[in-house]
Structure 1
Amino acid sequence: MAQRITTLVLLLETLFLVSYVSQIATTAADNDVDVIHVAGKVMCQDCTLNYDKWINGSEPIKGAVVSITCMDERRRVRYYGSDKTDERGQFDLIVNNVLYGGKELKPRLCKVRLVSSPDQSCDIPTNFGDGQTGVDLVRPFMVFQDLVKYVVGPFYYTTPMCEAPKLENNY
């Protein structure tokens, strides 16, 4: 009986600590920094390969464009920015936390999504990692002193051969 109570107390303390740390991270992300960073990766995935190569053989896309769109509470666009990926397929969007007119950016109202791929052999966007529909910035990956960083993705493009056929009248 005493062991169960001790376990229950430890569980409650752990839940409280996780909730407290999450609250601190969210508060820091919303208020204490001048810029936020949003990082991720864009890859090419070829569906014509066998399963193992398809899953593990994706290649980075250099020069792919990824965007961030931030809204306000009334669903009006307050910020739009984009970045190109480097030779490793990585991007790092840097967004000012204070917008025009002194308004603060609310990261939870921002979406990051795929825009374009320069590789004509791999330019069909997929929704793996929500690259097409967009990823909401919910919780930062890292909060340290004056750095708040979100990590999204990886996002994937695929080859034209892998594009799902467009059906007329849903047939």
Structure 2
Amino acid sequence: MALALGKVLVLLVLLSSSFTVFSDLVGVAKEPVPVHPPAPAPAPHHKGHHHHHHPPTPPPSHPPVKPPTSPPVKPPSHPPVKPPSSPPVKPPTPPVKPPTPPPVKPPTSPPVKPPTPPVKPPTPPVKPPTPAPVKPPSHPPAKPPSPLPTRKAVAVQGVVYCKSCKYRGVGTLIGASPLAGAVVKLQCNNTKWGLVEQTKTDKNGYFFFKPSKLTTAAFHKCKVFIISSPLPTCSVPTNMGSGAFGAILIPSRKPPVKPLPFQLFTVGPFAFEPAKKVPCHP
């Protein structure tokens, strides 16, 4: 510490001596310099011209210049320089270690249990099916072949009426009366034998056919038609009962009281009506 203070004092002495020398040099530099008037230049000489000569102009007189008096320069006073006090040297800090992450543990999952199969009830022992006693095949008694249907003769019946003039053109038999003497035709279109027969109605308008060559084997090929009327006032055939276009044979619904030697079929009823030009009487 004393050595440092000594060095500071030596520096201060040197600085003060340097400032004294510098002030002396400044004073010498500021002394006045003697001023001399400038010498007059010789007048130029011109040939062929005459000029008047004038006496030389005396130089202006100036008072002597005094140098400015400056106050003595004082050296700057500096505070004593203290040596820098260095802080105490700290030992180096050891390097910082990164934090050690904790060891990663795998997630603990509960142990997987295998699914418990459903409890099945005990299966009873399977018994083999008891075979049914074998019976010998029972055959129904053989029936004798049925005989072919017996062909019978065919008979056809029906009734023909004359309609009332009041109900002309109307499909009804109200007020109708049996027509006697009307002509009726039976026609069968058999490929082997064609058959056409005609007959007339009785007083009750009833007609009956019993052809000798027609049997029940071919009755479905026969039809009955109304042909003519004996009354000019009731002569227009109608299609009542399909009499105008041909009526098919229909087996009778009422069985006969006694067995008959033929199969009875019924057609109609048929009807004629008055013509439109015939006036109706009340």
**Which TM-score band applies after superposition, normalised by the shorter structure?**
0.5 to 0.7
CA separation in 2, counterparts of 1:145 and 1:151? 15
Pick closer, same or farther for the CA change 1:131–1:98 going to 2, 3 Å.
Answer: closer
Q: Which has the higher strand share?
A: 1
Conserved 8 A contact 1:48-1:162: no
Which residue is 1:168 aligned to?
Answer: none
Higher RCO (C-alpha 8 Å, min separation 6): 1
> Structure 1 residue 105: deviation in Å?
6.1
Select 1:37's aligned residue among 155, 158, 176.
Answer: 155
Closer, same or farther: CA 94–145 of 1 in aligned 2, 3 Å:
closer
Shift of 1:37: 1.0
State which of 88, 91, 96 in structure 1 corresponds to 2:207. Answer: 91
Per-residue CA deviation, residues 128-154 of structure 1 (Å, 9 max, x unaligned), is 1000000112x4215745221101101
CA-to-partner distance for each residue in 1:94-117, whole Å, 9 max, x for gaps?
112459xxxx86110001010111
Between the aligned residues of both structures, percent identity stands at 29
Equivalent-residue separation in structure 1 for 2:206 and 2:193 (angstroms): 25
Question: Quick one: distance in 2 between partners of 1:69 and 1:56?
Answer: 29
Contact kept in structure 2, 1:60 and 1:88, CA below 8 Å: yes
Task: Answer yes or no: is 1:57 the counterpart of 2:153.
Answer: no
Secondary structure class of the residue paired with 2:244: coil
Q: Does 1:116 align with 2:228?
A: yes
Question: Which consecutive unaligned segments of at least 5 residues does structure 2 have?
Answer: 1-147
SS at match of 2:220: helix
Counterpart-to-counterpart distance in 2, 1:112 and 1:77: 17
The alignment status of 1:130 with 2:249, answered yes or no, reads: no
- Structure 2 residue 275 is matched with structure 1 residue 156: no
- Answer whether contact 1:40 1:154 (CA < 8 A) is retained: yes
**In 2, are the aligned partners of 1:46 and 1:162 still within 8 Å (CA)?**
no
Give the drift of 1:161.
Answer: 1.9
Question: For the Cα contact (< 8 Å) 1:47–1:162, is it kept in 2?
Answer: no
Aligned pairs, number? 124
Q: Secondary structure at the match of 1:115?
A: strand
Paired with 1:77 and 1:97, the residues of 2 have a C-alpha distance of: 9
Letter in 1 for 2:151: D
Instruction: Assess, with a 3 A threshold, how the Cα gap between structure 1 residues 95 and 105 changes in structure 2: closer, same or farther.
Output: farther
Distance (whole Å) between structure 2 residues aligned to residue 118 and residue 77 of structure 1? 31
CA distance, structure 2, for counterparts of residue 136 and residue 55 of structure 1: 21
